[in-house]
């Protein structure tokens, strides 16, 4: 049997949900699509979307988590294609102070979110 599927969402865990939502909205224009709060308040899931694809970024906040998450070597990452003027988007991210790595030879750069997850930014 061949199983076929399609991407739905990707999850990351965050320490400060409001700060992360604000970052993803400001840096990438992502908007909250829906949220689920545990009946006992132990977790909140917030799904963010780009309003043009069905793919979602799920932010998970855990009430009892106090320490930063261990991200290893940070080799896994999300990737976004910049809408519009790539140089203007890069300048915007530079002004935000969130660019953590640039590879001008390859024509790409990375930004990092409040929990230090890396997001690759490519031209459209």
Task: Dump pLDDT digits (tens) for 101-111.
Answer: 999 999 999 99
User: Would the pLDDT of 88 be above 90?
Assistant: yes
Question: Looking at per-residue confidence, does 75 or 96 come out higher?
Answer: 96
d(CA 104, CA 101): 10
Specify the pLDDT at position 76.
84
Q: Residue 25 — pLDDT band, cuts 50, 70, 90?
A: very high
Specify the pLDDT at position 110.
96
Which parts of the chain are beta strand (E)? Answer: 9-14, 31-37, 43-49, 56-62, 78-81, 99-103, 108-112, 118-122
Q: Residue 86 — pLDDT band, cuts 50, 70, 90?
A: very high
Residues in the chain: 124
Fold of 9-64+76-122: 2,3-Dihydroxybiphenyl 1,2-Dioxygenase; domain 1 (3.10.180)
């Amino acid at each position: 049997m061949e199983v076929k599927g399609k991407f739905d969402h990707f999850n990351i865990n965050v320490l400060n949900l409001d700060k992360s939502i604000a970052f993803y909205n400001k840096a990438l224009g992502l908007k909250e699509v829906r949220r689920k709060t545990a009946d006992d308040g132990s977790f909140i899931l917030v799904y963010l979307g780009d309003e043009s694809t069905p793919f979602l970024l799920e932010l998970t906040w855990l009430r009892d988590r106090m320490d930063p998450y261990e991200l290893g070597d940070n080799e896994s990452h999300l990737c976004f294609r910049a809408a519009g003027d790539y140089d203007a988007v890069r300048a915007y991210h530079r002004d935000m102070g969130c660019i953590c790595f640039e590879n001008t030879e390859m024509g790409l750069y990375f930004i990092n979110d409040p929990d230090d997850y890396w997001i690759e930014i490519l031209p459209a």
